[in-house]
Amino acid sequence: MNLSPCQLTHPGLVSDTVEILERAGLAPASLCLEVTESALIGADDDLLKPLRRLAEMGVDIALDDFGTGYSNLANLRRLPVSILKLDRAFTQGMQHFPADPVDLKIIEGIVSLAHSLDLAVTVEGVETGAQADQLRELGCDTAQGWYYARPGPPDRLHELALADAT
């Protein structure tokens, strides 16, 4: 679930999240909150405190659009993230054969860095089976994109979940 910069500053972020999880009967580990890298640029401890509390409860915090804009590797040390979401800009060069070797090396390096910090890597923008296979070989943990499912209405999520369970 995406969090906007405005939602990050909402005083009830933690309590509302806990209430919703309890009402839905879900464990905190079943929730992943995505925050864009740009929303956390220059974030002070007060802004990060609610995210840290949620992470301590077991909620996954994903740093979305990693590698674009104002990437600062020093941020990885202080942000309570467990997942890096690699921006689709890096997978675009993999849509054609042969894949862009520079993109492959960048992805490989980011995956290596993330894993050494005990962070999972999700890559965005996967559109072909060949991309999915190559990203898996590079060590990416999960992927998103049209190859897996096109955007759709919320009812479609229920159908996909049922199909996946069988």
Question: CA-CA distance, 119 to 82, in Å (whole number)?
Answer: 5
DSSP letters for 65-78 = EETSSS--TTHHHH
Cβ–Cβ under 8 Å, residues 8 and 35: yes
- Considering 124, 127, 137, 159, which one is annotated as catalytic? 124
Question: CA-CA distance, 120 to 126, in Å (whole number)?
Answer: 17
Token pair, residue 69, equals: 């804009």
- 124 annotated active-site: yes
Residues labelled as active-site residues = 124
